[in-house]
């Protein structure tokens, strides 16, 4: 399946007209028609515009990314969302900045919220929870969900990020490792108010086999 066919099938599955997509991307309807029919090859810049308008990453249209085959393929395509994979976020010591973490690529997952992202785990402080070095964790935003006992991505002092299990007691919060070689990080409730932010909850795990 070529790029044009992938664009057409995704556009159709979302109920988007070619005229709307042309207006959204500043392209002509005729040029989009040629792309979808395989008569024109879009530039990388044009492909980024089309991908952005259709709500996916440009890699979605790559020949290397499989499109699901099912009796209800269009429904599956409609629900797929591109999830960025950020590289090497520590499960041990904190990382100083999140902004400098490279995007390694994308996963395409159905039925996930907009702000979901994936992290490749560095170090081994969570091996007791079955999370090993090199595994990929899928992180969901925290929408008023109870955190107690959950594995979370936490940001400390507005800059340092780490993967730990969250516990809240009466007077303090603990970020607990799952390996005896690492020490828990403890905050009083007052400290946590200005030093600790929970970025999201780990809900899925892809093993590095």
Residue in the structure block whose two tokens are 């393929």: 73
121 and 91 Cβ atoms separated by less than 8 Å: yes
Residue 46 to residue 55: CA distance in whole angstroms = 14
Rg, the chain, Cα only: 21
15, 74 contact by CB (below 8 A): no
125 among known catalytic residues: yes
Residues 13, 164, 188, 203: which is the catalytic one?
164
- Residue the block writes with tokens 């520590």: 90
- Structural tokens at position 187: 């905050």
CA 27 to centroid of chain Cα atoms: 29
Query: How do strand 117-122 and strand 80-90 relate by DSSP bridges?
Result: parallel
Give the count of alpha carbons within 13 A of 81, CB side only.
13
In the block, residue with structure tokens 């900045």: 97
Three-state DSSP at 166 gives: strand
Q: Which residue, among 18, 27, 11, 163, has the nearest Cα to 86 in the 3D structure?
A: 163
CB 79 within 8 A of CB 70: no
Is 164 assigned a catalytic role?
yes
Give me the catalytic one of 63, 125, 203, 207: 125
Residues labelled as active-site residues: 125, 164
């Amino acid at each position: 399946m070529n790029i044009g066919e992938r664009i057409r099938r995704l556009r159709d599955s979302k109920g988007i007209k070619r005229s709307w997509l042309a207006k959204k991307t500043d392209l002509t309807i005729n040029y989009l028609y040629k792309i979808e029919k395989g008569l024109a090859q879009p530039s990388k810049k044009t492909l980024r515009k089309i991908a952005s308008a259709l709500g996916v990453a440009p890699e979605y249209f790559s020949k290397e990314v499989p499109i699901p085959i099912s009796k209800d393929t269009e429904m599956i395509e409609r629900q797929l969302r591109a999830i960025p994979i950020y590289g090497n976020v520590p499960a041990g010591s904190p990382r100083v900045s999140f902004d400098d973490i490279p995007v390694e690529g994308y996963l395409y997952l159905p039925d996930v919220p907009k702000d979901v992202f994936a992290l490749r785990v560095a170090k081994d402080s969570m091996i007791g929870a079955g999370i090993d070095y090199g595994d990929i964790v899928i992180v969901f935003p925290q929408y008023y969900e109870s955190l107690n006992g959950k594995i979370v991505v936490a940001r400390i002092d507005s800059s340092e990020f780490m993967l730990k299990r969250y516990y809240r007691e009466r007077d303090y919060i603990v970020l607990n490792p799952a390996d005896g070689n690492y020490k828990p990080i403890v905050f009083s409730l007052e400290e946590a108010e200005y030093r600790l932010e929970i970025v999201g909850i780990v809900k899925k795990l892809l093993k590095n086999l």
